[in-house]
Homo-oligomer: A and B are copies of this chain.
């Protein structure tokens, strides 16, 4: 099962890490920036993948950065998915779609449907659960048929996440905890040999105490943890969220892909791939210190 494959690879590499691919053309080195936009984001993504595929189990291309280029960018997103899968990486498509069931079936086919030699699709996608369980079901169908998985938003990493997610319910419980328990229940029929379900959750590292609460309520739910690095989360913040076999994969985007601009890894922009590799190894060390 796909979730077991991800858990296995994380353990082989001792790296519960996913590199977020948020291609910002304005931060590309000149020789890539001068390519047509849709070609540039593929060149850039491949360079990152080439430098991390043997030390990190997964990449997370963020489709918004591809969509803003227009239809060619949409094509580029799937090119990057294909390239990363061919390099043996697990691909988490960060698409955060949401809609009623009849429409969700369309998104489910778009991102989790059958693939062929020329067209590859992500192993996992992120989904916004605000519309309720019936809006999730069409994805689960494809997850079973095509051996894929989901990460449902439970507590996001942004400051404003509290506006809705932290609301206190009539029984005194926070909304994110209530939702966390729902995701645990929704995922229980799909638990693999690793002990984790193919239905995972997004839980931000920027709210460590909340992540710890959620960890207790969701024993079989694998976490995708954004917010590390550029957004402020660290290994220290995460140590109490780890469970058997980590139980989570921590995302870093700019912290790795734009490391060449940082004080620590500063180098020629042409060497952004090499800096990304060094930053990923540094992240691994930071996380290992707290395992």
Which A residues contact B (CB, under 8 angstroms)?
22, 62, 64-65, 67-68, 70-71, 74-75, 78, 94, 96-107, 109-110, 113, 119, 128-135, 153, 156-165, 167-170, 172, 175, 178-179, 182, 226
Q: A64-B106, A96-B99 are in contact. List 7 more A-B contacts (CB 8 A).
A: A64-B99, A64-B103, A67-B106, A96-B98, A131-B156, A132-B164, A167-B178
In the complex, chain B residues whose CB is within 8 Å of the CB of A64? 97, 99, 103-107, 110
Shortest C-beta distance, A111 to chain B (Å), equals: 8
Docked complex Cα distance between A71 and B158 (Å): 30
A158 / chain B contacts, CB cutoff of 8 Å: 100-101, 131-132, 134-135
Q: Is A110 a contact partner of B160 (Cβ separation < 8 A)?
A: no
Pairwise interchain contact A168-B170, C-beta atoms closer than 8 A: yes
In-complex Cβ contact of A100 among B65, B70, B157 (8 A): B157
Asked if A68 contacts B106 (CB within 8 A), the reply is yes
Chain B residues within an 8 Å CB radius of A104? 64
Which residues of the partner chain B approach A101 to less than 8 Å between Cβ atoms? 158, 160
- The answer for the CA separation of A132 and B204 in the assembled complex, in Å, is 14
A227 to B, closest residue via Cβ: B100
Q: Residue of B at shortest CB range from A161?
A: B132
A67 touches B110 (CB 8 A): yes
User: Contacts A64-B106, A113-B68 given: A153-B134 contact, CB under 8 Å?
Assistant: no
Cα-based distance from A64 to B67 in the complex (angstroms):
14
Using Cβ atoms and an 8 Å threshold, which residues of chain B touch A109? 68
- Cα A103 to Cα B126 in complex, Å, equals 14
Establish whether residues A131 and B161, one from each chain, have CB atoms under 8 Å apart when the complex forms.
yes
Give the chain B neighbours of A128 by CB distance below 8 A.
98, 128, 130-131
Contact B163 A110 (CB under 8 A): no
Q: Nearest Cβ distance between residue A183 and chain B, in whole angstroms? A: 11
Residue of B nearest to A186 (CB): B163
Picked from B100, B132, B153, the residue with its CB within 8 Å of the CB of A165 is B132
Which residue of chain B has the shortest Cβ distance to A137 in the bound complex? B160
Q: What's the Cα separation between A107 and B74 when bound, in Å?
A: 12
Nearest chain B CB to A156 CB, angstrom units: 5
With A100-B157, A164-B179 as given contacts, are A68 and B110 in contact (CB-CB < 8 Å)?
yes
Contacts of A134 in B (CB 8 A): 158-160
Cβ contact within 8 Å between B106 and A70: no
- The residue of chain B having its C-beta at the shortest distance from the C-beta of A104 within the complex is B64
Cα A266 to Cα B1 in complex, Å, equals: 47
Alpha-carbon separation in the docked complex, A160 to B158 (Å): 26
